[in-house]
């Protein structure tokens, strides 16, 4: 198969190098490379490392070790690590290609996602390379604390929350296990907004991360691709074939910036490729010569807008033209790159689906499906049937949300004008699908219409994703079941084997070993350190749940972590929560379905209880929140205001403030989460059952020994299976009960009328806190003005939530029992490792093995 343009000489070389192997022979993975290890050893040498840092300081920053400040040192050290990774990557490239050519058991895995919430990289890379001590040695001489150096690095906040952080954890797991993987995303100039709280309100500020974050970006100007938008499109028949012409499209250049991804104890270095948009005709010389300076550069600006900023909404599509442009820009550049790499290595597209797995993370990159069709058919002359066979056997899709309002739909007129050729291909996919569906469900036009891609002048991206993928998965058992029973039920009936589950997981090295080194050392002491790479080993820690020495240590480690968090809160907010109070943490995006409001209502009732019983004997409680709201999400912003006003009133009321504290952590991010998770006693996972696809914060707190109070939602269900019902506090309706209760007509007012404690808390909203009244929230809970009153059923679950908290408080007082539970939670977090998730994906979906051992 030849591209209509010329074939490069490297294509030809590659063809000669192909030695297809017969299936079924041994394991394909290569041993870790000696070359990679040699590079690591060289950089681990303190003298060599220091010399490199000094060189960077003098040559680039014009300073030296003695005079450089912490920020300059962070840059120099990161730059040296990045250089080391570049050298390792070169070696790894040779190895992975040679394995790929020698076996059909490995594939190149492409993980395409609009978001990668990477956080900070230096500490993680040093840990993975085993070079933390080398750097610590150097810093000691200079009298600098390692954490101070790490905190010079701005978070790469190129994501909103769960979806983006999952993608980042997966890159770590893919690399640690030696899979040949590349992530594709956008190089947003501004990541997720920085949140400030001003008089209780969330105010958004731009996140200008590049000045400090750029050290990890490797620009590859030599590897740019061109993406076309708009243009005049005409289809016509010639020699019995449908052809088309596209004139005057607007072209944009996609410039790649690569971030090297390290894994633990491996010489594999994968990459995350971020595309940055640049105008191809960067300057209008004519306009310039005519003295029209502003217009001369105007085009440039419009192209560069594409990767200017991350859309800050999760679970609510914006439906904006620019967002669609971002999606196609990322997809087109990535697909062109993937096809080019395939041809370089194999010289043919025939084995594409056998050597390539493309994963679309939620529907945002779904245009991969028509874009690959376009490239195969238009650039390589492939026929429809063959192209469709290859594409639909290459692409797989993960769904991350069942919220109806979050399912993406694009206006057909917009898609057609922005991407006329792609739209035409989508029409053809739709036409063929309808014929097939009609055959499966004869006579049922309603069903066919409902399942098809085009309808109501919209392109339904979820339908396109299911139709164009060979596997579709949800992210927890419950969620995957809901996909089969409800969201994608008809597709499931038509093709049950297409649907599967892969429960989410988290990077243990980041979320336990690095963020809670004391707990990790205790586990090492008890069961050895194998669990760091083989998560299933962590289970062995459960054997120590009644060991008094271990329980006391667990208690002390938690308290130390709480002191550390308290000091951080003091530094940033000016008051220090009591480390002997219970730290009850709810940290996640602000969303109605996650029910921070339910938590708030209970805090209000606690507040009132203490006011009424000033002498009450209770363990002090500290409620800690971290949450960003989408800037246009009215309800969510009001809940943030409520939490902050509540905090202000409670923390400043001497009658309660020694018993109750409320902390709203500003600007919740990956790096604040790393400080927060190890200090949590209680993990609040209280979404309305059936709404939270999985949750991953629940796993992060669990592995750090926090006890969950939660509903039977998302991965909480599996957490309960893992630890047993006696080591978790479950309350509230099940997903089925929610469904039934909503169908039979939920009446929140009746619930309110019959529970005096709840009534008092809700009524208190009208008086408000710190001078701000919240009768709008009371209205939302009781009056069916917009949709139904209390749509996420906070009132319905309130009583049982309070009951569960009472049980929990009693358990907390029995310190041995509590620490027993804590050890059980850490140990059985074993199954929530991203390494395990990735193994599941590789086995069930991608059908690929690692290229390195
Ligand atoms: C188009 C607007 C939009 C943007 C982002 C819609 C949906 C999203 C994401 C898919 C929302 C998201 O992050 N979902 C979360 O994914 C996590 C990782 O699987 C899960 O743990 C969370 O439960 C889920 O809410």
Q: Is 737 exposed, middle or buried (0-12, 13-18, 19+ CB in 10 A)?
A: middle
For ligand 1, the distance from its centroid to the CA atom of residue 314, given in whole angstroms, is 6
Q: How far is the centre of ligand 1, averaged over its atoms, from the C-alpha of 364 (Å)?
A: 11
As a whole number of angstroms, the distance between CA 40 and CA 50 comes to: 14
In eight-state DSSP terms, residue 688 is: P
Q: Ligand 1, residues 316, 400, 482, 632: which to mutate, most atoms within 8 A of Cβ? A: 400
Give, using CA atoms, the residue closest to atom 22 of ligand 1.
695
- Tell the burial category of 572 from Cβ atoms under 10 Å away from its Cβ (0-12, 13-18, 19+): exposed
- Whether residue 36 is contained in a domain is answered as no
Query: In a 10 Å sphere around its CB, with 0-12 CB exposed, 13-18 middle and 19+ buried, how is residue 757 labelled?
Result: middle
Known catalytic membership, residue 759: no
Per the structure, the complete domain to which residue 707 belongs is given by 580-830
Nearby residues of 366 by Cβ (< 8 Å), 6 or more positions away? 360, 397, 408, 461, 462, 464, 465, 468
Residues 629, 633, 639, CA angle at the centre, nearest 5°?
A: 60
d(C-alpha 590, C-alpha 667), whole Å: 12
Contact 388, 433 (CB under 8 A): no
What does the block give as tokens for 113? 């996602």
> Is 708 assigned a catalytic role?
no
Longest dimension (CA), the chain: 92
Among 116, 162, 631, name the best residue to mutate to test ligand 1's pocket (greatest count of ligand atoms within 8 A of Cβ).
Answer: 162
Mutation choice for ligand 1 from 113, 163, 587, CB with most ligand atoms inside 8 A? 163
What is this structure's pTM?
A: 0.95
Cα-to-centroid distance, 165 and ligand 1 (Å): 10
pLDDT of residue 295: 63
Instruction: With respect to residue 693, please indicate whether it lies within any of the assigned structural domains.
Output: yes
Is 77 a domain residue? no
Q: How far is the CA of 169 from the centre of ligand 1 (A)?
A: 15
For 796, residues 6+ apart whose C-beta sits below 8 A from its C-beta are 732, 733, 741, 746, 748, 751, 790
* Consecutive 10-residue averages of pLDDT for the chain (853 residues): 41 36 55 88 97 98 96 98 98 97 97 98 98 97 96 98 98 98 98 98 98 97 97 93 92 98 97 96 62 60 92 88 98 98 98 98 98 98 97 98 95 98 98 95 93 98 98 98 97 97 98 98 98 98 98 98 98 96 98 98 98 96 98 97 98 96 98 98 98 98 98 98 98 98 97 98 98 98 90 98 98 98 98 98 98 92
In a domain, 354, yes or no: no
Does a structural domain hold residue 744?
yes
Ligand 1: atom nearest CA of 714 is 23
Nearest alpha carbon, ligand 1 atom 12: 163
Bridge partner residues of 236 (DSSP): 243
Which residue in 307, 672, 696, 711 is the catalytic one? 696
Please report which helix (H) or strand (E) contains residue 29, including its range.
none
Ligand 1 centroid to Cα of residue 164, in Å, is: 8
The answer to whether residue 735 sits within a structural domain is yes
Q: What share of the chain is helix, strand, coil (3-state, %, to 5)?
A: 55, 15, 30
Residue of the nearest CA to atom 13 in ligand 1?
Answer: 163
Q: Choosing from 484, 700, 805, 836, which is the catalytic residue?
A: 700
Which one from 588, 602, 635, 661 is the annotated catalytic residue?
588
Q: Which of 116, 192, 362 to mutate to test the pocket of ligand 1 (most atoms within 8 A of CB)?
A: 362
The verdict on whether 400 is a catalytic residue reads yes
From 113, 115, 116, 314, give the residue whose CB has the most ligand 1 atoms within 8 Å, as the site to mutate.
Answer: 314
Hey, whose CA ends up nearest to atom 2 of ligand 1? 317
CATH of the domain at 641: 3.40.50.2000
Total domains present in the chain: 1
H/E/C letters for each residue in 495-553? CHHHEEECCCCECHHHHHHHCCHHHHHHHHHHHCCHHHCCHHHHHHHHHHCCCHHHHHH
Q: Active-site residue 594, yes or no?
A: yes
Asked whether residue 769 is assigned to any structural domain, the reply reads yes
Ligand 1-lining residues (CB < 6 angstroms):
160-163, 166, 313-317, 362, 400-401, 406, 408, 475, 504, 692-696, 714
* Ligand 1: centre distance to CA 268 (Å): 29
Query: Ligand 1 centre and the CA of 360: distance in Å?
Result: 13
**400 alpha carbon to ligand 1 midpoint, in Å?**
5
- The closest-lying atom of ligand 1 relative to the alpha carbon of residue 398 is 19
Q: Is 589 a catalytic residue?
A: yes
Distance of alpha carbon 755 from alpha carbon 773, whole angstroms: 22
Tokens 């028949």 locate to 237
Ligand 1 centre and the CA of 162: distance in Å?
6
Of 545, 589, 628, 764, which one is the catalytic site residue? 589
Ligand 1 atom 4: the closest Cα is on which residue?
314
Q: Is residue 710 part of a domain?
A: yes
**Per-residue confidence (pLDDT) for residue 302, from 0 to 100:** 85
């Amino acid at each position: 198969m030849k591209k209509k343009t010329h074939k490069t000489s490297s294509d030809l070389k590659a063809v000669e190098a192909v030695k297809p192997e017969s299936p079924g022979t041994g394991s394909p993975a290569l041993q870790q490379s000696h070359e990679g290890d040699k590079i690591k050893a060289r950089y681990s040498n303190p003298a060599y490392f220091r010399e490199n840092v000094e060189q960077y300081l003098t040559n680039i920053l014009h300073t030296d070790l003695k005079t450089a400040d912490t920020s300059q040192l962070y840059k120099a050290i990161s730059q040296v690590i990045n250089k080391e990774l570049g050298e390792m990557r070169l070696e790894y490239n040779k190895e992975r290609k040679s394995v790929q050519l020698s076996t059909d058991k490995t594939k190149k895995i492409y993980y395409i996602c609009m978001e990668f919430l990477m956080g900070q990289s230096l500490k993680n890379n040093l840990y993975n390379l085993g070079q933390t001590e080398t750097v610590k040695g150097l810093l000691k001489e200079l009298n600098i604390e390692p954490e101070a150096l790490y905190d010079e690095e701005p978070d790469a906040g190129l994501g909103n929350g769960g979806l983006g952080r999952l993608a980042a954890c997966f890159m770590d797991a893919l690399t640690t296990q030696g899979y040949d993987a590349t992530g594709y995303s956008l190089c947003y100039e501004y990541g997720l907004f920085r949140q400030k709280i001003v008089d209780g309100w969330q105010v958004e500020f731009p996140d200008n991360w590049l000045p400090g974050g750029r050290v990890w970006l490797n620009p590859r100007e030599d590897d740019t691709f061109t993406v076309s938008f708009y243009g005049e499109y005409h289809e016509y028949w010639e020699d019995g074939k449908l052809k088309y012409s596209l004139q005057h499209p607007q072209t944009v250049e996609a410039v790649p910036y690569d971030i090297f991804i390290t894994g633990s104890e491996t010489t594999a270095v994968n990459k995350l490729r971020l595309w940055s948009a640049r105008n191809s005709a960067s300057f209008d010389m004519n306009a310039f010569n005519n003295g029209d300076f502003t217009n001369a550069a105007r085009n440039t600006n419009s192209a560069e807008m594409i990767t200017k900023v991350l859309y800050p909404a999760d679970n609510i599509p914006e439906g904006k033209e620019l967002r669609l442009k971002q999606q196609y820009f990322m997809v087109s550049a990535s697909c062109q790159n993937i096809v080019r790499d395939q041809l370089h290595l194999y010289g043919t597209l025939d084995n594409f689906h056998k050597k390539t797995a493309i994963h679309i993370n939620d529907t945002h990159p779904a245009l991969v499906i028509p874009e690959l069709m376009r490239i195969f058919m238009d650039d390589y002359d492939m026929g429809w049937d063959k192209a469709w066979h290859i594409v639909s056997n290459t692409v797989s899709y993960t769904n991350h949300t069942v919220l109806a309002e979050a399912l993406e739909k694009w206006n057909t007129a917009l898609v057609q004008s922005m991407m006329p050729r792609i739209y035409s291909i989508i029409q053809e996919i739709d036409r063929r699908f309808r014929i097939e569906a009609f055959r499966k469900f004869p006579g049922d036009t309603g069903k066919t219409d409902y399942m098809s891609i085009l309808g109501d002048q919209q392109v339904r991206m979820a339908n396109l994703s299911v139709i164009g993928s060979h596997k579709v998965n949800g992210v927890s058992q419950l969620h995957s079941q809901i996909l089969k029973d409800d969201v994608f039920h008809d597709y499931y009936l038509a093709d049950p084997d297409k649907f599967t589950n892969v429960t989410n997981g988290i990077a243990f090295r980041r979320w336990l070993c690095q963020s809670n080194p004391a707990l990790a050392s205790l586990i090492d002491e008890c069961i050895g350190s194998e669990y760091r790479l083989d998560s299933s080993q962590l289970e062995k820690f459960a054997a120590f749940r009644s060991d008094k020495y271990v329980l006391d240590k667990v208690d002390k480690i938690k308290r130390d972590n709480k002191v550390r968090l308290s000091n951080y809160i003091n530094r940033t907010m000016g008051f220090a929560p009591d480390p002997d109070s219970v730290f009850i943490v709810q940290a996640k995006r602000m969303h109605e379905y996650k029910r921070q409001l339910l938590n708030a209502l209970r805090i209000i009732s606690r507040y009132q209880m203490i006011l009424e019983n000033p002498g009450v004997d209770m363990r002090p409680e500290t409620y800690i929140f971290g949450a960003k709201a989408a800037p246009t999400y009215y309800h969510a912003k009001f809940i943030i205001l409520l939490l902050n006003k509540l905090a202000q009133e409670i923390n400043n009321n001497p009658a309660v403030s020694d018993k109750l504290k409320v902390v709203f952590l500003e600007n919740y991010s990956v790096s604040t989460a790393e400080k927060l998770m190890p200090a949590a006693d209680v993990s609040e996972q209280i979404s309305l059952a059936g709404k939270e696809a999985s949750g991953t914060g629940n796993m992060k707190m669990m592995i750090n020994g926090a006890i969950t109070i939660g509903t039977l939602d998302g991965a909480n269900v599996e957490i309960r299976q893992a630890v047993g019902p006696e080591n978790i506090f479950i309350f509230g309706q099940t997903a089925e009960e929610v469904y039934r209760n909503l169908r039979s007509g939920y009446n929140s007012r009746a619930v309110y009328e019959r529970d005096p404690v709840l009534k008092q808390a809700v009524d208190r909203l009208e008086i408000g806190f710190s001078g701000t009244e919240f009768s709008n929230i009371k209205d939302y809970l009781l009056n069916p003005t917009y949709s139904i009153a209390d749509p996420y059923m906070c009132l319905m679950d309130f009583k049982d939530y309070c009951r569960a908290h009472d049980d929990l408080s009693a358990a907390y007082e029995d310190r041995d029992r509590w620490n027993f539970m804590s050890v059980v939670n850490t140990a059985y977090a074993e199954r929530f490792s991203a390494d395990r998730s990735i193994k599941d994906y590789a086995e069930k979906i991608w059908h690929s093995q690692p290229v390195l051992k």
